[in-house]
Every structure is written in C-alpha cells, then in structure tokens.
Structure 1
C-alpha cells in the first residue's frame, strides 16, 4: 500500500517575538517545531513565520490581513495561528503600551475578519520573569479566552502550564528575562502539538 501525504497546507503564524522564536539558537521557536512535527507525521506543510519583535496587537491588527492574504491564496488550504499580547502588557511611560480593553477590541476585530476567511487558532502569550507583568498577561489571557469562546475560535491558554514549567522559566531567567532557548521552545511546542485544537485542526478536509 502506498502512503500518501495530505494535500498541501499553508499556515501563517502571526504574532511577536515568541512567534518569531527569539532566543532559540535553532531558529525554530515553538511554531517551527510544531510544523516540523506535523510534517514528520505526514502533513505537507508550508510554514510562514510572521512574528515581529516588540509588536503590539494594535500594530498587528493593521498588518495581518495584507500579509496573510498575500501568502494564503484562495486556491490553497490556508490557515492562521495568532499568538500575541505580551508587548501590550509592557509598561512604558508609566502605563501599559496597550490598554487591556484595547487589546480585547483588537483581538475581536482581527478574529471577526479572520475566522470568515480561514481556519484560525489562537494561543495566549507565555509567562516571563517579571511577576507584575505576568499578572497582567494572565488577566489578558483570560479575557482573550472569553473573546475566542464568543467567536467560536479554538483558544489555548498556555500561560498556566508554562509558568509551572521549570524548563521554560529557568531558560527565560538565564537568557534575557523574557525569552527561552531551544528547550524552552520545545516545552511550548509540546503543549501546542498535543492540544486538541491543533490535533483536530489538522484533520480538517
């Protein structure tokens, strides 16, 4: 019996430095790792990393559609994974770069368009070494979950699992206080690639 790959799937990962894989000496990050794993399991995946360092959800909202639609043409099986929010919660000039309410509005605006065009998944931002910012990101992640639930978009809140991960938190601490190295991104990838949302998503016809 001849084995046959599934039809080609093109996936855009849209977000900031964690999507970009900043700090990973293998230049894969978590997004590259889950695509590599899926490819080894027989999925013919074309992987586009659209992570931009320091980008907020307001900046992402302005660029995502043009960048994604350029890569995911109508004739292909195109899909999108969004993961952002960490930069929104960063304090600059005495306040967060983006207010919580504006972050929620940005996510809702993005998903309201995206979900009608492509299969979409959303992954929360991960924890860093800063406890106060972690609290803000935890709050944001919970609000993002509500938006995704309302819009019927699968959402993975990875924050609680990674904050308990010694691998993730140790590498973040030893590197730059925000990003891990290869083992940390592998821990992130292990969670995503075993997530029901990702597994079910790859079964779509």
Structure 2
C-alpha cells in the first residue's frame, strides 16, 4: 500500500452497525481492532437499518464516493442482511442487486469483500440459507471474497443462545464476536495484503 491511507467503507444494515451489542462495536469494531495496517485503516460504516439490497444498491456508490479519496487505497465491504426476505424480494432480484454493486465497484477499481447474512429466526432458516448461497455464487463468479455467516452459525449453540437471550433477531456480544472471527478467518488479511494477526 505504500504511503496510501486505507479507507474501508462498510455498507449494510443494522448488523453492520452492531445493533444489539452491549459494547456498541459490533463485528466491524472487533475486526477493526484486529486489523493492524500501516498506515492505520479507517473503517467507515454506512448502515441503514432494515435495508434491502435494492435500497443498498441505489445508495452505496454516492455515499462511498464521499468518503473515498484519490490518494487512498479505497475498499468496499458489502455486509448483507436478511431484509430481502421480509420484503419479499425474489432470489433473482437479490442476486442481481449484489451483482450490480460488485460490477460497479469493479469498474471503479474498488476491491470488494462480501459478508453474508447470519442466521436469525429459526423459521427463516431455509430462506436465509438459500439467500446466502445465492450471494456466495454471485461473489464466486466475480472472484470476490465471501464470508458464509449462515452455515457455521445456524446450529452453533452459543450463537443460538445469544440470539435467544436478546430479541431473537440481533446477536449480542458473543454473537458479534463470532461474526468477527469468521471475517478474520475467511481471507480478510489476505484481501488487505496484510500478515495474519495472531489468533
């Protein structure tokens, strides 16, 4: 990266903002604390609660552009939530929305990293699993790193206990810690061109 500053725009919903975390830092803050970049990375979280990928695709470019700099190493983290399911969006529409975000970022030479939706209500499980798989496929076709949050957490006792202890939708301190661990151990440092931080 040389002397360039590192600017990481995180676009997503309330999960990107760490809603429900007693510590108030969510998975993004935990990942930031473990990202030892020189110069220091600047994490810029652009979250809108309950946002679908349609709304996200419509706003991210303008909002990220305001925070990027021609003199910086600008990067985009797409933190996908579960709102598309509640809004009744088709799988095809969700796929297309993510594809459009990744294609525009690629055209602008902004490296991207995608974080999939984590499990929520048990009755949404099959739909979230399908949505996560679709997002993974879109990212893989573009050779963009993708973090599968659903598969490792769907039956994880600590994750499920953390959800149950809260509102059943948002994770708490333990849940966000698990999300951060998955990000850090799914190609995060490689994507940034940094050495792995100690476990």
User: Scaled by the length of structure 1, what TM-score is found?
Assistant: 0.87
Q: CA deviation at 1:104?
A: 0.8
Q: CA deviation at 1:7?
A: 4.6
Q: CA deviation at 1:148?
A: 1.0
Partner Cα distance (2:174, 2:15) in 1 = 14
Residues 138 and 6 of structure 1: is their aligned pair in 2 closer, same or farther, counting only changes over 3 Å? farther
Partner Cα distance (1:6, 1:182) in 2 = 35
How many residue pairs align between the two structures?
192
User: Which secondary structure does the structure 1 equivalent of 2:8 belong to?
Assistant: strand
Kindly provide the CA deviation profile for residues 105-144 of structure 1, in whole angstroms up to 9, marking residues without a partner as x: 111111110123211000110001x223121010011111
Instruction: Say what the alpha-carbon RMSD is for the aligned residues.
Output: 1.7
Which of the residues 3, 9, 30 maps onto 1:12? 9
Unaligned runs of 5+ in 1: 91-95
Q: CA deviation at 1:42?
A: 5.5
Question: Is 2:197 aligned against 1:200?
Answer: no
Which of the residues 29, 32, 35 maps onto 2:29? 32
Q: CA deviation at 1:99?
A: 1.6
Q: CA deviation at 1:164?
A: 3.0
- Checking the alignment, whether the CA contact within 8 Å between 1:6 and 1:44 is kept in structure 2 is no
Match of 1:79 in 2: 75
Unaligned runs of 5+ in 2: 195-199
- Checking the alignment, whether the CA contact within 8 Å between 2:13 and 2:79 is kept in structure 1 is yes
User: Scaled by the length of structure 2, what TM-score is found?
Assistant: 0.90
Q: CA deviation at 1:43?
A: 5.7
